[in-house]
């Protein structure tokens, strides 16, 4: 495979997203720009310029809109800005159709809600907010007691957009209803959470993170707990873990077919993990474990750990 090198940004990239048919790519960068690219040729189609680093980018349903967040920087407040994406690059404009502001602290993620009617934001102030895309009004925000207590680092939507998962430095991940912002489930870990994702195939979520390298007293990967942890989405039980990274995990993503997942770490490696056949029998294992619990046996967790296998 010969890669296409797309040159244009002058500082580190912060985020990137493909459109639905993978013909275009949008990237955000610390150079205070977001760029639109042609995937086939690698050509730069357009540059959106800001007064602060661009933190996250996301195409809307239909790819006609994109939301881009900017950091609080040199006196500029953090924003989430909606841009129209033209079919013809010659018709593209830098004009923002909507600018959402008034949030304290960096906005780490902004994603579209169902039918592009809302935008969901989350970031340093540990609060999730849902905004009306017509008026820019904040419709609701997460409860301070039920919600995260530290910076929200990541946000991932379900395949049907009915719920989403957030990860936080408070060592937890939380599952939320997209329309009502009702807290559905909480998954507790022993390490700060940097990345989360929801399986499109099974009722599983994957959570990764780890202690910052500067705070780890040993170089052994076990010291920083650099492991991708799997939880049952409904039962909230931890069902297994995949080791391999020697630094905090910063990115996680299930393959759209649900048969593999990838992890990216501060160690500079991307690891692609393929599930073996036992993994797809895990639903039956949960039913077996549930029956064991009903009759008072303690086989639930052992059954689950035996069922999860990854080829690393």
Give the CATH number of the domain where residue 279 resides: 2.130.10.10
**Residue-wise burial string across 37-70, b where 16 or more C-beta atoms lie within 10 A, e elsewhere:** beeeeeebbbebebebbbbbbbbbeebebbbbbb
Residue 300 lies in a domain: no
pLDDT of residue 1: 53
Residue 107 lies in a domain: yes
Range of the domain at 21: 13-295
Residue 152 lies in a domain: yes
Q: CA–CA separation, 239 vs 219, rounded Å?
A: 26
Positions of E strands within 52-162: 54-59, 65-70, 79-84, 96-100, 107-112, 118-123, 129-132, 138-141, 152-157
Residue 3 lies in a domain: no
pLDDT of residue 276: 85
**CB-based contact 174:185 (threshold 8 Å):** yes
Residue 23 lies in a domain: yes
The tens place of each residue's pLDDT in the chain, 312 residues long, gives 567 788 889 998 889 899 988 899 999 999 999 999 999 899 999 999 999 999 999 999 999 999 999 999 988 999 999 999 999 999 999 999 999 999 989 999 999 999 999 999 999 999 999 999 999 999 999 999 999 999 999 999 998 999 999 999 999 999 999 999 999 999 999 999 999 999 999 999 999 998 765 555 454 444 557 889 999 999 999 988 998 888 899 889 998 889 899 898 888 788 888 888 888 876 655 555 554 443 343 333 334 444 444 443
Residue 104 lies in a domain: yes
pLDDT of residue 289: 54
Residue 1 lies in a domain: no
Residue 304 lies in a domain: no
Domain count, the chain: 1
């Amino acid at each position: 495979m010969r890669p296409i090198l797309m040159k244009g940004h002058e500082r580190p990239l912060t985020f990137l997203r493909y459109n639905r048919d993978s013909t275009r790519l949008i990237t955000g960068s610390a150079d205070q720009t977001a760029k639109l690219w042609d995937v086939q040729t690698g050509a730069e189609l357009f540059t959106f310029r800001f007064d602060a680093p661009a933190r996250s980018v996301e195409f809307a349903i239909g790819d006609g809109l994109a939301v881009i967040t900017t950091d609080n920087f040199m006196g500029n407040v953090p924003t989430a800005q909606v841009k129209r994406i033209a079919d013809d690059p010659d018709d593209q404009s830098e004009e923002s159709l909507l600018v959402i502001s008034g949030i304290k602290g960096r906005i780490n993620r902004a994603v579209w809600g169902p039918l592009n009617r809302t935008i969901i934001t989350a970031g340093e102030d540990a609060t999730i907010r849902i905004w009306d895309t017509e008026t820019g009004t904040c419709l609701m925000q997460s409860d301070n007691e039920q919600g995260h207590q530290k910076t929200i680092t990541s946000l991932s939507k379900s395949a049907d957009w009915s719920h989403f998962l957030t990860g936080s430095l408070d060592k937890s991940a939380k599952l939320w209803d997209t329309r009502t912002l009702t807290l559905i489930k909480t998954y507790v870990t022993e390490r700060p959470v940097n990345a989360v994702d929801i399986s499109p195939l099974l009722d599983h979520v994957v959570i990764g993170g780890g202690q910052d390298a500067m705070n780890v007293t040993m170089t052994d990967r076990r010291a920083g707990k650099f492991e991708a942890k799997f939880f049952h989405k409904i039962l909230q039980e931890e069902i297994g873990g995949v080791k391999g990274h020697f630094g905090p995990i910063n990115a996680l993503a299930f393959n759209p077919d649900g048969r593999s997942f990838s992890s990216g770490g501060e160690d500079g490696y991307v690891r692609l993990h393929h599930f073996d056949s036992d993994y797809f029998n895990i639903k039956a294992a949960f039913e077996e474990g549930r029956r064991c619990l009903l009759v008072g046996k303690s086989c639930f967790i052992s059954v689950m750990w035996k069922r999860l296998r990854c080829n690393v």
